[in-house]
Structures are given as structure tokens and as C-alpha cells.
Amino acid sequence: MEMMPQYDLSRLPENTALKQQTLPTQQLNLSASVVLSIFFITGGFCLSIGIILLLSAKSTKKIEINYTKTCANCAQLRENSSNFDKACNCSLPFYLPEKMEGDVYMYYKLYGFYQNLYQYILSRSNSQLDTTNCDPFQVSHNDTPIIPCGAIANSIFNDTITLSYNLNSSTQIEVPMLKSGLTWWTDKYVKFRNPRSSNFTSTFAGSSKPLHWAKPIYELDLDDPGNNGFLNEDFIVWMRTAAFPTFKKLYRRLKRVHAFAEGLPAGNYSLSISYNFPVTMFQGEKSIVLSTLTWIGGGGLFLGLTYTVTGALTLLASFAILTIHLMLKRSKLNFL
């Protein structure tokens, strides 16, 4: 007589609807009217959002001042010199045709600078005190460690820009600008840290500043200890690399006081620029951008155009599906 196989009953799944796969099922069976309604609602929603985003982007006010050619003499003098501690100053007047109301932001914009090169991105140290991944800017010519190290830190944008407003032909006042509130919160308070010692000079003794820097890391902002060292916001902004060769980075924010409480008034202005950052060696250009922001950010049209095109195509597809449905329904009725 054949023996019955023995089973370990303790290993059997519990007798529940879930484990015995006896849960009730539901098959989604949408009618043509429901599908068409979903398509029309989605298309209308995307188209509406796209139009709102485009109108919002159009409401921003922006002016860009390219100073590459204006400061050409400075560029030639600066870039042909091996002394990076010396800068050349140039002035650039411009006219603001209409008032910029509200918060105004100043950006520097670079053309043709590839921060997205793989080797360039790798040449950095997130801790900034560890020089492991900083080739070829790891040590100086006298074999002392470079702090901060790496190609990204070495190539920091270091032009100094001052904006002035001409009240009249004889009176010129400097526009007050804030150098704080420029970075991501996580960068400022999580990613970048200063040494615990308050005496930066002794902490960084025996190190060298990057080759293209005019002053060491602990002298970036002696007036504000919270904006000095590795927590300097200009430094942090530069260290977040851009994805495209043409990009802009936040440089300053308007301090809305006195004559600028409501924003930048229309009129004559001038930019005083201390030229340090070289661009002619890679056929690049530099600009200053003054811009207002909206609830969606800057005046970029990409997001609005994406929603608008998506909504329009969805509505076209909806009308096409509706036409096909009506034609099939009519042919079915004629057949009957």
C-alpha cells in the first residue's frame, strides 16, 4: 500500500482571505463617456495651468547687462597677468526703463563655462578639509595642502560688483544689497561646516589658498563671522554646480530701505566691477542680471510651455477620440 505524503501543517499559510488569495476582485470597466471626460478634464487642467504659468512668467521684470566687451581692457590686463591678487576696475552705466517693484535679485551669468564636466565635478571635497579627491588642485607648488581644494573651489567666480543709482547728474548713491539668504538651507546648515575653533588663522596654518583666490578662505567676509570661511554664501552658491554651460547664480538681494523700499526705481544706474574672473581664455562671456520673482520663481517659460503643449495635445487627442467614437457608434446604428 502506497504511503500518503506527510505535510508540516505549521508551514501552511493562515486561513485568511488575503493569504488564501480569496479577496474580492474588481474589474475596472470604463465607458467611453468616462474616458472622454478624463481626457477633456486633464487637457483643460494642463492648458489652464500652462497659461497661468506663462502669464506669471511674463509679469517678471528683468534686465541683463553684458560687461564682457565693456571691460575688455580689464580682461586683457587681468588674464595676461600671473598675479591674481591684482584686479582691474571698470564702470558700466545703464538705464532702467521701468520700476522693478518688490524684491529684486542680482545674478551673475556666465556663457560657455562647463561646470558639468565629469572630472571637474569630481575635483572637490564636501568636507573641504579632506584633500582626497581634489586633483589637480590638491597641494600648492610648495607641497602645502590647498584649502578649499579642488577645481570647483579654485575656479570660483570672484568679480566684485557694486550697483549705484544716479539720483541726478551730480548725486550718486550705492544701492544697498544683502549678501545673505542666497543659498539652500541644507547647504548652509547641513552640508557645509566651519571648524569648531573660532581662530581660523591658527586652524588653517600650514595650508595655502587656491591659486586663483585673492585671499584665503578665512578672510572671505571679515565683517560677518556667520558668512566667513566655508559658510560664505558666495562660496556655497558657486560649489553647487550648474547643469548647462550657460547659467546664472544668485549674487545679491536688494535691501529694501529708504529710496529702495518699494524696489528699484526707474532711472540711470551704473555698475562698478572689480574684474577678477577670466572668461576670454575659453571664449566665454559675463553678464549681470537684475530680476524680480513671482510665486513660481523666475521668468523661465519652459514649465508654462510644457503644460500648455501637453494640455493642447491632450485636448486634440480627446476630440480625435470623440470623433472616432461617434463615427463607430453611427456605423453600428446604420448596420442594425
pLDDT digits (tens, 9 = 90+) for 257-293: 988 999 999 999 999 998 888 888 888 899 999 999 8
pTM for the predicted model, two decimal places: 0.78
> Is residue 12 included in any domain, yes or no?
no
Tell me which of 335 and 294 has the higher pLDDT: 294
> Is residue 158 included in any domain, yes or no?
yes
> Is residue 41 included in any domain, yes or no?
no
> Is residue 203 included in any domain, yes or no?
yes
> Is residue 142 included in any domain, yes or no?
yes
Which structural domain range is residue 87 located in?
62-293
- Average the pLDDT over each of 113-117, 120-124, 146-150, 203-207 and give the range with the smallest value: 203-207
> Is residue 32 included in any domain, yes or no?
no
Report whether pLDDT(137) > 90.
Answer: no
> Is residue 126 included in any domain, yes or no?
yes
Number of domains present in the structure of the chain = 1
- Average the pLDDT over each of 119-133, 138-152, 253-267 and give the range with the smallest value: 119-133
- Average the pLDDT over each of 41-55, 166-180, 186-200, 260-274 and give the range with the smallest value: 186-200
Q: Quick one: pLDDT at residue 286?
A: 93
SS (H, E, C) the chain: CCCCCCCCHHHCCCCCCCCCCCCCCCCCCCCHHHHHHHHHHHHHHHHHHHHHHHHHHHCCCEEEEECCCCCHHHHHHHHCCCCCCCCEEEEEEEEECCCEECCEEEEEEEECCCCCCHHHHHCCCCCCCCCCCCCCCCECCCCCEECCCCHHHHCCCCCEEEEEEECCCCCEEECCEECCCCCCHHHHHHHCCCCCCCCHHHHCCCCECCCCCCCCHHHCCCCCHHHCHHHCHHHHHHHCCCCCCCEEEEEEEECCCHHHCCEECCEEEEEEEEECCCCHHHCCEEEEEEEECECCECCCCHHHHHHHHHHHHHHHHHHHHHHHHHHHHHHHHHHC
Tell me which of 245 and 197 has the higher pLDDT: 245
> Is residue 266 included in any domain, yes or no?
yes
